[in-house]
Amino acid sequence: MTNPGWGSAAEGGGPQPQPRCVRHPDRPTLLACSRCGRPACPECLRPASVGQHCVDCVAAAERSTPQARTIAGAPVRSDRPSPIVTYVLIALNVLVFGITAAQSGSVMTHEQGSALFLDWALWPPIIAAHGEYIRILGSGFLHFGLLHLAVNMFALWVIGRDTELVLGRARYLSVYLVSILGGSAAVMFMETGAVTAGASGAVFGLLGAQAVILLRLRRSPAPVLTIVGLNVIISITVPGISLWGHLGGLVAGAAATAALLYAPQYLGAGTDRDRIVRTGWIALVAVVAVTLVAIVLAVVRLRDQLGV
């Protein structure tokens, strides 16, 4: 009498083939995801509180889990992320300084001997007469000497890192650039005869951003405002410092940050994250537009004064 088990094994052609990983069909495996049950090789499995999950289930869980975010919508990570944009901005300022120092042959003062400095320094009459608009933004990356560079880069390193982590990289960079534009606009209106340069307008803009962030968090901005006040006094009492460049950057940076943090709240964006982010960006674009209009008006005014 034939054994039924042996007969079925013979009829089936021997032992059943070993399951294979769903992501790597060439890899036999006896393991499986404890969530979806699909076979997976060790490379495709991750430890879980119960059993082990395949990478597809892990990714799906991450997408469905709400992520903690800052008041500006930037993701909050368990590890402290690197403020990459701040470091890149510092590197760009140092690079531009290195070029101007090499062209002039001096690290202490090179505004007269550097072609790049002469091409980028903010001098409102030449912008109005010849349309050299690169000066409006490029001047924010120039410095009159090593001490000027060191002070601004130290301030950027201290202020910029935390501001970047709260705002997120894209918003932070936008606030930084808008602050440069705001400082340039103020200079073109109020200091038309001066040649100005430096990242201090952007640094003041980040101070304004920090003050707005503290207000949004319902914390006292007094420490930041104290620093701003001391620097304003220095700008007034020390010759050769652009007060209006600082104030313009301060106002523009604060306005840009307020647009990002307060506009969604007052324009009824609700709790939908995508709508909050979109509303903040639209408000920021409005601030940029106002700043650009101010620059255009300053150029028109200067052209009338110069008879161009």
Please spell the DSSP secondary structure of 235-294, one letter per residue. Answer: HHHSTT--HHHHHHHHHHHHHHHHHHHHHHHHTT-TT-HHHHHHHHHHHHHHHHHHHHHH
- The whole-angstrom separation of Cα 63 and Cα 57 is 10
Residues in contact with 115: Cβ distance below 8 Å, sequence separation at least 6, in sequence order: 103
Q: Could you confirm whether 200 is annotated as catalytic?
A: yes
Give me the residues paired with residue 69 across strands. Answer: 75
Q: Rounded distance, CA 224 to CA 208, Å?
A: 8
Residue of 53, 143, 148, 246 with catalytic role: 246
Is 18 strand, coil or helix? Answer: coil
- Is 174 a catalytic site residue? no
User: Of 104, 114, 139, 200, which is the active-site residue?
Assistant: 200
Cα separations in angstroms, 225 against 80, 100, 117, 200, 302: 27, 34, 32, 16, 33
What letter represents residue 120's amino acid? W
The answer to whether the beta carbons of residues 186 and 140 sit under 8 Å apart is no
The span from the CA of 123 to the CA of 300, in Å, is 15
Q: Which residue carries 């091409």 as its tokens?
A: 119
Please identify every residue annotated as catalytic.
200, 246
